[in-house]
Structure formats: structure tokens, C-alpha cells
Structure 1
Amino acid sequence: MEQQNDSEKLAEQVTTPPMQLVFEALASAPRRKILAYLTHSDLTAGEIAARFDMSKPSISQHLNVLETAGLISGKREGQFIRYSLTPNKLVNTLNSFVQDVCPVGRPLKKESKALAELKKSTKE
């Protein structure tokens, strides 16, 4: 199996739909555990690594995937980055997914989009 170089990985991230990034991030049990652990408190990579008995590079890789998917955000505080959940990102992604696959939701979503576009065009 070939390894991707950094530019190939970046190109893939840029062209991957946001919903797919979220589901790929959620496919990993360690990442789901990290999300659960961040529910009530912002934490550094070191604090997360200590809880899950994982190496800091491994935690950093998981945090990068979660951040790329938009599920968490990092804020630099001195020499550390403090990670926190991104409010409503997961809920909105799952809601959108359900609407896309639901036989009732899909037509309503299209109708809602058409109505929003109509309202926008009448304001202009």
C-alpha cells in the first residue's frame, strides 16, 4: 500500500465533503472516546494522552483528524493547545445525513432550499 505525501493528503482533505470527514473521524473508537472526554472540559493533548495511555504523537494524529472534520477546535495558550468540542457540529452533520437518506426528509430539504433561494432572490 502506497503512503500519501503531505500535499496529496492536503488535496484529499480539501476535496473531501465535510460530512464524509465527520464520519471518517467517527469511525475510530479512540476518536469517539476523545470526543466524549472533551464533553465537559477543554483539554491539552498531554491531558488527553495521560487519560487514554496513548503516545502524544498518536493523540496528536487523532486530534488532527477531529479538527479537520470540524468536530473540535484548538486554541493556543502559551506552549500548549487547548482543545474543545465545536458546538453543534456533530448534531448538524447527523441531522443533515438523516434528512438526506430519509424518504420524507429529502423532499422537504429540497423544498426548504428552494424556498430559501426564493426569499434571498426577492430581497436582492
Structure 2
Amino acid sequence: MNKVFDALSHPIRREVLELLKSGGMTAGDLADRFPVSKPTMSGHFAKLKEAGLIQGENRKGSVVYTLNMSTLEEALHGFMGRVGIGAPETGARASAARTGSDPLEGKEST
């Protein structure tokens, strides 16, 4: 989780993730959107890959980056758990969440 938050600490890396939300992009296309050198962007891509937030695939001589949402989701859930947000539900509500039913459906409130 530390690697994910380290990767998210830089505004360029966060913006790269924003750009990739709409689909894969080549390293060159991504780099062209930022006022830094291509080697600097390469370092940002490496940091995002190391954290597992993006994946790179070589296609016809270009690297195409895509988001790895599962890593981001895991980090978010881990963080939320550490700060006490979204703690696991217990009792009838947790059972209903697993089965897709509403335990209060059809019952009148008192």
C-alpha cells in the first residue's frame, strides 16, 4: 500500500491515471501532454508500474499503458479500513449484502 500512496503523491502521476480512465494510451501520447522531458515521464511511468497502478504492453514498437483498477481499489479499501471508514457490516445487514436480499423488507418499523 505504501508504494501506491507514494505513486499517488505526485500530481503528474495522478493526472496520468485520470487520462487512462478513458482507455489505454501510448507512452508518447501521455508524455506529450506534460511540460516535462520524456525521461522524466518514463520515471513517472516506472513509479506507477512499480505500484501496480498501470500496466504497459508493447504494441508495434510503442508501449501502451492501461489502468490496473484492482490495485487502486485494494489500496483504497485498505486505507479506508485503517481510518475506520467502511468497516465490515455485521448481523442481518451483512448477510443481506452477501445474499442480495433486504432483511428489513416487508417489516414495519416500530
State the TM-score bracket (shorter-chain normalisation): 0.7 to 0.9
Q: Deviations over 1:54-98 (max 9, x none)?
A: 211111100000000000000011211100000232122111111
Superposed, 1:21-36 pairs within 5 Å as 21-36=3-18
Q: Deviations over 1:11-40 (max 9, x none)?
A: xxxxxxxx0000000000110011101111
Taking every aligned residue pair, what percent have the same amino acid on both sides? 36
Q: 1:99 to 1:82 in 2, by over 3 A?
A: same
Task: For 2:32, give the aligned amino acid.
Answer: A
- Paired with 1:33 and 1:54, the residues of 2 have a C-alpha distance of 13
The structure in which a higher percent of residues are helix is 1
- Paired with 1:103 and 1:95, the residues of 2 have a C-alpha distance of 9
**1:74 has 2:74 as partner:** no
Residue 46 of structure 1 is matched in structure 2 by 28
Q: Structure 1 regions of 5+ residues with no counterpart? A: 1-18, 109-124
**RCO comparison, higher one (Cα < 8 Å, 6+):** 2
Task: For 2:70, give the aligned amino acid.
Answer: N
- Paired with 1:74 and 1:61, the residues of 2 have a C-alpha distance of 13
Task: For 2:66, give the aligned amino acid.
Answer: S
- Paired with 2:85 and 2:28, the residues of 1 have a C-alpha distance of 45
Residue 97 of structure 1 is matched in structure 2 by 79
Higher-Rg member (1/2): 2
Q: Structure 2 regions of 5+ residues with no counterpart? A: 89-110
Q: Tell me how large the CA RMSD over aligned residues is.
A: 1.9
